[in-house]
Amino acid sequence: MLHQDIERILFTEDELRTRVAEMGAQIDQDYVDRKPLLISVLRGSFIFMADLVRSITRPCTVDFMAVSSYGAGVTSSGQVKIVKDLTEQIEGKDIIVVEDILDSGNTLHYLLQILQARHPASIRLCTLLDKPSRRIKPVEADYSGFSIPDEFVVGYGLDYAEQYRNLPYIGILKPCVYQK
Ligand code: IMP
Ligand code: MG
């Protein structure tokens, strides 16, 4: 069972639901006369994205992008690769980049540069989790669900070696799982 590898639950399903609804309401307020394009950074943000867009009540569109920076380890390599690019053109659009977690900032620093070069009207960053103590690159989120300590977390879309994404809550992975 996946649950046995979890040291402690950080955010329950209820806590996630409540916070994500608040974030959606905030986006609703901030984009009154605009139709934002939400860009989910795959794969980690897919569950957050699905819940977030359902808590936004105004018109919006979605697109998906995949980048890789980790391999199977637990620290960012600093080398970021676009694995899947957007389908939509973003020039002149109000885009919101939706991420699961902002850690060193390597991934987003690179990604935001690429997106900026395509001249969107505006660009904001929405992350469910933030580990500010780990930051190497100067990246700040406009919308941040929770600040967390420097622990490796999984669930609600976040993985370790592609597993645990299907846990409905977010929990700290037992270090013995990745120190094997
Ligand atoms: P960064 O480039 O170091 O900011 O890492 C960002 C990416 O690393 C995230 O989008 C996640 O995919 C992954 N990541 C960072 N910390 C964790 C964690 O605690 N659990 C699972 N994935 C993580
Ligand atoms: Mg990710």
Tell me the pairing of strands 94-102 and 37-42.
parallel
For ligand 1, atom 13, the nearest C-alpha belongs to 101
- The rounded Å distance from CA 103 to ligand 1 centre is 5
Q: What confidence tier does 23 reach under pLDDT thresholds 50, 70, 90?
A: very high
Looking at ligand 1, which atom is closest to the CA of residue 139? 4
Q: Among the options 51, 94, 103, 159, which is catalytic? A: 103
Summarize pLDDT for 73-110 with one digit per residue, the tens.
Answer: 556 556 678 999 999 999 999 999 999 999 999 889 99
Residue in 42, 45, 100, 129 to alter for ligand 1 test, most ligand atoms within 8 A of Cβ: 100
Q: What confidence tier does 68 reach under pLDDT thresholds 50, 70, 90?
A: confident
Q: What confidence tier does 1 reach under pLDDT thresholds 50, 70, 90?
A: confident
Question: Cα(99)–Cα(130) distance, rounded to whole angstroms?
Answer: 10
Whether the per-residue pLDDT at 179 is higher than 60: the answer is yes
Q: Minimum-distance ligand to the CA of 72?
A: 1
Residue 133 has phi, psi (to 5 degrees) of: -70, -15
Of 67, 81, 70, which is closest to residue 159 (Cα–Cα)?
A: 70
What are the CA-CA distances from residue 77 to residues 80, 94, 104, 106, 180 (Å)? 8, 30, 10, 8, 20
Reported as type and span, the H/E element at residue 53 is helix 46-54
Whether the per-residue pLDDT at 52 is higher than 90: the answer is yes
Under a CB-based contact definition with an 8 Å cutoff, are residues 120 and 90 in contact? yes
Contacts by 23-26, CB closer than 8 A, 24 or more apart: 23/52, 23/55, 23/126, 23/143, 23/145, 24/52, 24/53, 24/54, 24/55, 24/56, 24/57, 25/55, 26/143
Whether the per-residue pLDDT at 171 is higher than 90: the answer is yes
What pLDDT does residue 81 have? 83
For ligand 1, atom 5, the nearest C-alpha belongs to 103
Of 54, 141, 155, which is closest to residue 98 (Cα–Cα)?
A: 141
Whether the per-residue pLDDT at 129 is higher than 90: the answer is yes
Reported as type and span, the H/E element at residue 146 is strand 143-147
Whether the per-residue pLDDT at 71 is higher than 60: the answer is no
Q: Which of 21-30, 70-79, 163-172 has the lowest mean pLDDT?
A: 70-79
The answer to whether 159 is a known catalytic residue is no
| ∠ Cα 26 31 33 (to 5°) | 145
Under a CB-based contact definition with an 8 Å cutoff, are residues 61 and 49 in contact? no
- For the chain, give the mean pLDDT: 93
Q: What confidence tier does 155 reach under pLDDT thresholds 50, 70, 90?
A: very high
- The rounded Å distance from CA 99 to ligand 2 centre is 6
Average pLDDT over residues 24-46: 97
- The rounded Å distance from CA 152 to ligand 2 centre is 13
